[in-house]
Each structure stands twice: as structure tokens, then as C-alpha cells.
Amino acid sequence: METSHSVSAIGLMSGTSLDGLDIACVQFMFHSGKLDYKFISTTTVPYPEVLKDAFKNPFNWVGSRIAQVDEIYSSFVAERILEVLSNAPDFRPKLIASHGQTLFHQPQAGFTFQLGNGSVIAAKTGIPCVSDFRSADIALGGQGAPLVPTGDELLFGAFDNCVNIGGFANCSFQENNLRKAFDMVPANFVLNSLAQKLSLPYDDGGKLAASGKLIDNLLGDLNALKFYQIQPPKSLGAEFVEQEIFPLLEKYKKHNTVDLIQTYTEHIAIQIAQNLKPGNCLISGGGTKNNFLINRIEHHAQDTELVIPFIELIDFKEALIFALLGVLRWKKMDNIFASVTGASKDHCAGTIHL
């Protein structure tokens, strides 16, 4: 890395938990081979109902429907960015880095697709936009995910483990001087859908889980799913939940919903704990606020200290790292590690829209 300079960027994260668009305005400081960051401002913007409804069942859409929703989503993103910038007149980003909203992720079939047209976002904001970070990795034989471990390595490498619990939970760690990472288990994507059966958006603090009872047979069925025996690199998408998780939960639908929630929470905790290295673990994402889940992870991973950071990093770590991925792409530096995704080589991914 070059000596002392800074780059300002906007990172956008739009996850499978569907709780909104995370926008992080960040300044990155490069100092003689070292990298640091500072949040300038952060916000989460809820999705309008038209988008939330669309995201829930894209699997039978025709092509024109995909194009229509992509335009609605891209315009929504651009408008929200302009609103953020209107409240931060001194912040002048070099670029926008957009993760997009994943509709389809099937690396084994050679494709992934995220809503979010970088050309539309760039045109409507007047700021270059880097998007489509996953496709090149899949073309190089990788999983196209997870991508956040690049930031774990460059910004949070002092931790023995990094875990993010969002729609899916993934982990990242050093092994034989290489960054390793993979998706571990569907998390809030499933918990939120169960909470919504009780007319609640999510399990606030894990209170629903705490009030339930464990369903031993369901827990056994969940932990026996073949995905958990596959060696990394590996990644998860909504398709796995639709095909594997929801049918199992349906099999036990006669049980109280809070019992399903407790059992699935225990499943998440077990899958996370058994993948952690001894030492410490920086934990982030919405699941960090689920006290019951955190307590269960600690119960199952007694050799690992969970480190919960300040609230801005909990909520915006992924948006922060996508901003970094965009900056690295702009600087023509590798931003995807083959040791993480299984691609044939490290590479510089993302499409730049001017």
C-alpha cells in the first residue's frame, strides 16, 4: 500500500434478513502499509413494502419482473444516498460500493445475482459505483462468498476469529498464514420468519427463544443436514433455507412457535460454536443483540471469548468492509482471497460504473 493518504467511500449492505439498507460513510487512512478507518456517518433505511414483498419470493419471477424490481431497488438506493449526503455536506466520497440485494446464489450452478444496477446508482448520484463483487469469483471457480473476510484480515486481523450473525452466520480466521472463511448456518433469515408467525418482526433480545422449550428431535434433524459435514469453502443462499430448513420446520409445525424458535436458536449456537478456534472472537451483526443466542454460543464454545464491539461496528461492519472492497477495486488491488472462496486465484473483483 502506498504511504499516507486517505480515501472516502460509501459502503452499502443489503442482507437476507431484509431489515433495511445499511449505509456507511467511511474514511480509510493508508499509512505506510497499515490501514485504519473512521465512520463519518451511518444509517439503516427500512425498505418500502413494495420491495420487502418482492424480496420474499423471487424464485418464480419472469425476466421483466426482475428488471422492474431492479430499477425500483436501484433508484431507491440512489435516493437514500443523496439524502445521506445532503446531511453531510463536507463528506465527499470517491465512490459508492454496493453489495446489492441477493436474489439468487447458486455457485455450484455457476451463477449469482444481486439486485442493484451500478450504472443507475452512479448516474443518479453522480458518484462512481462499484457493484457485482461476486460474479468474477464464481467464474474463477469460487463460491462468490463470503467476501467480508478480506476486511477481517486487513482491519481486524488481531482477532483469532471474526463472526457475523446476519441473515446467515459466517466465520473468518487465520489458518496456516491464510485467511479461511465460510458460511456456517442460516441465522436471522430463519429466526425472523418464525417471529413473523407471531406478528413480530424479529425475536427481540432472544426473549421468544428464552420462553420456549427445546425440541430434541428437530435439533437432531437440523444438525444432521449434509451441508454441515461439507468441508469449506462453502456458502449458503436463500435456496438452502427454502429447500432444507423450512421443510424441516414444517414437519414440526404442531409444536409451539416459541419452541421452534428456541430449537433453531440452539441450532445456530451449536453450528457457530463448533467452528470457532480457541482464543477470542469479534462478533457482529444483528444476531449480536440476541442475548439468548449469545449466551448459548458462550455455553458451547467455552474456549473462545466473545468480544462484542461498539454498536456502530456491530451494525455496520459489513457495510464498512464493502466500502473497503470498493476502494481496493478502485485502486486495482486484490480484494477477494482464493483461500476463502475456493477460486483459482486471488483477484480484484467488482464492476466500476462511472
**Tens digits of per-residue pLDDT, 286-310?**
999 999 999 999 999 999 999 999 9
Between the two ends of the chain, the Cα-to-Cα distance in Å is: 24
pLDDT confidence of residue 3: 64
pLDDT greater at residue 186 or residue 18: 186
Average pLDDT, the chain: 94
- Those residues whose C-beta lies under 8 Å from the C-beta of residue 103, and which sit 6 or more positions away, are 55, 58, 66, 113, 114, 115
For residue 61 the three cell numbers come to 419471477
**What string of DSSP letters covers 238-274?**
HHHIIIIIHHHHHHTTTS-HHHHHHHHHHHHHHHHHT
Tens digits of per-residue pLDDT, 20-66? Answer: 899 999 999 998 878 999 999 999 999 988 888 888 777 778 889 88
The CA distance from 183 to 304, in Å, is 19
User: Is the CB of residue 81 less than 8 Å from the CB of residue 91?
Assistant: no
Cis omega (within 30 of 0) on the bond before 233? yes
Tens digits of per-residue pLDDT, 239-293? Answer: 999 999 999 999 999 999 999 999 999 999 999 999 999 999 999 999 999 999 9
Going from the C-alpha of 243 to that of each of 1, 102, 240, 249, 262, the distances in angstroms are 44, 17, 5, 11, 21
Question: What share of the chain has pLDDT > 70, as a percent?
Answer: 98
Name which of 45, 32, 130, 123 is nearest 87 in CA terms. 45
Residue entry with cell 458451547:
300
Helix (H, G, I), strand (E, B) or coil at 225: coil
pLDDT of residue 2 exceeding 70 = no
Question: What share of the chain has pLDDT > 90, as a percent?
Answer: 86
pLDDT of residue 17 exceeding 70 = no
3-state secondary structure 7-49: EEEEEEEECCCCCCEEEEEEEEEEECCEEEEEEEEEEEECCCH
Distance from the Cα of residue 20 to its chain's centroid: 12
pLDDT greater at residue 251 or residue 233: 251
